[in-house]
Amino acid sequence: MKIIEIVHEKCIKCLECVAECPSHFFLNEKNDSENIVLFSDPYSSCIQCGHCLSICPTDAIIYQSIEKMINIPKNSMDFDTLFPQLKLLLQTKRSIRRYHTDPVSETKIKEILDVMKYAPSASNARAWKFLILTDPKKIKTLSLKIVKTISLTRKLVTNFFIKNFFIYGELRKTIKEPGFPVSLDRIINDSLAGKDPIFFDAPCVIFLYSPKYGNLAGCDSGIIMTYGMLVAETLGLGSCWIGIAQESLQRLRSLSKFIGIPRGHMVWGCFTLGKPVPKFNQIPPRPDLSVIDIS
Ligand SMILES: Cc1cc2nc3c(=O)[nH]c(=O)nc-3n(C[C@H](O)[C@H](O)[C@H](O)COP(=O)(O)O)c2cc1C
C-alpha cells in the first residue's frame, strides 16, 4: 500500500491525518492565502500503516493497493456484550492436546489467516510467512523425527562430560533439573506407544517463519500467532503452541528443510489446530500478575 497524493477538492482540512500519522508525513501548509494538507515522504519511509486512510472522513487520500479499504459499520460494536464475551473467550481458551481426526477445512484456515493479517507488527514490518501442514503422514513423520532428536538429547544429557563441560547457560540449568529427563522419557515412551506427543495427532499444524529481522520479531510472532489461536476458538477449533517443535526446527536445519522452510529463515512458532476432544467445565486458577504499584 502506497500513499500517492491528497485530492484537495475532497479534503475538508479536519487535520486528522496530520494528527494521526505516526511518522508526521502529513503537513498543514499555507499555499498562497489558503491552508492545504500535503503528504511529504521524501525518503519513502512511510510504514504503510494506513491510519491516514482509516481516519480520513472524505476519502481524500489517493493510495495504491491491491487490497481495498473496508468500511467500519456504524455502532457495530456493542462494548457491553463485547467485553464479557471477549473476557470469557480469553479465560476459557486452553491448550488442546487431544483432537478429533476430522480435517480442518480450507475455508476455516483461510478465515483464520484473513483475521491474522490484521495483527500489529513493529514498524508494520509484516515479515511473517506461513507454512501449513495438513497431511497426517507428513505431520506424523515430522513428529517422529522430533522425537528422534529428543531421544538423542536424552542420551547426551545423561553423559557427565557433556552435561558439565559442553552445555552452558540456561540450557545447562534446564537439563540439570530433575524433571527434565522425566519429561523427555514421557515423550519418548508416548511415541513408542504409538501416540504423537509432539502434535497430538492434530489434523493441522501452522508454522510461522521469516528471515531474521530486528529485535522485535519474536513479539510480532507471538502476537499474530495468538490472534490465530483466538480466532480459531470462535470457529470451534482448539489449538496449542508447540514450543518443542519450534525449538527443534530452529536447531536442526534437516527438520525445517523436511517441511519446506527455505534456507536462511527462522521458525518463530507453530501451533496445532483441530476440533478439540476435551470439554472443560471450569476456568483453572491463575495467580494475579505481578505489578509494581506506581500509585
Ligand atoms: C511459547 C509456548 C510454547 C509452548 N510449547 C508447548 C509444547 O511444546 N507442548 C505442549 O504440550 N504445550 C506447549 N505450550 C502450552 C503451555 O503448556 C500452556 O499454554 C500452559 O500450560 C497453560 O495452559 P493453557 O494454555 O491451557 O492455559 C506452549 C505454550 C507457549 C505459550
CATH code of the domain covering residue 257:
3.40.109.10
pTM value is: 0.93
CA R_g for the chain: 24
Domain co-membership, 107 together with 233: yes
Domain that holds residue 10: 2-64
Residue nearest to atom 30 of ligand 1 (CA): 241
pLDDT band at 280 (very low <50, low <70, confident <90, very high): very high
Integer angstrom CA distances of residue 141 from 103, 118, 129:
17, 33, 22
Mutate to test the pocket of ligand 1, among 221, 226, 229, 241 (most ligand atoms within 8 A of CB): 241
pLDDT over 90 at 157, yes or no? no
Domain co-membership, 45 together with 179: no
Q: Give 5: exposed, middle or buried? Use CB within 10 Å, 0-12, 13-18, 19+.
A: exposed
pLDDT tens by residue, 68-92: 999 999 888 999 999 999 999 999 9
**Position in ligand 1 atom list of the atom nearest CA 222:** 1
Name residue 115's amino acid.
V
Name residue 249's amino acid.
L
Assigned domain for 221 exists: yes
Assigned domain for 295 exists: no
**Position in ligand 1 atom list of the atom nearest CA 96:** 26
Assigned domain for 289 exists: no
Please give the mean pLDDT across all residues of the chain: 95
The domain boundary residue, chosen from 23, 49, 64: 64
Distance from Cα 124 to the centre of ligand 1, integer Å:
27
Domain count, the chain: 2
Residue nearest to atom 5 of ligand 1 (CA): 243
Strand intervals (E) in 98-222: 129-133, 204-211
CB atoms under 10 Å from CB of 140, counted, come to 14
Domain co-membership, 19 together with 140: no
Cell of 133: 501442514
DSSP state of 103: P
Domain co-membership, 16 together with 120: no
CA distance linking residue 78 with residue 97, whole number of Å: 34
Assigned domain for 70 exists: no
Distance from Cα 52 to the centre of ligand 1, integer Å:
38
Assigned domain for 84 exists: no
Assigned domain for 235 exists: yes
Mutate to test the pocket of ligand 1, among 96, 240, 248, 272 (most ligand atoms within 8 A of CB): 240
Distance from Cα 157 to the centre of ligand 1, integer Å:
23
pLDDT on residue 294: 75
Assigned domain for 189 exists: yes
Domain co-membership, 27 together with 172: no
Q: Which residue has the cell 540450557?
A: 171
Mutate to test the pocket of ligand 1, among 88, 91, 95, 199 (most ligand atoms within 8 A of CB): 95
Distance from Cα 243 to the centre of ligand 1, integer Å:
7
Pocket around ligand 1: residues whose beta carbon is below 6 Å from it?
A: 94-95, 97, 240-244
Domain co-membership, 49 together with 189: no
Domain co-membership, 21 together with 151: no
Domain co-membership, 243 together with 106: yes
pLDDT tens by residue, 102-154: 999 999 999 999 999 999 999 999 999 999 999 999 999 999 999 999 999 88
pLDDT band at 293 (very low <50, low <70, confident <90, very high): confident
| CATH number of the domain bearing residue 53 | 3.30.70.20
Domain co-membership, 114 together with 203: yes
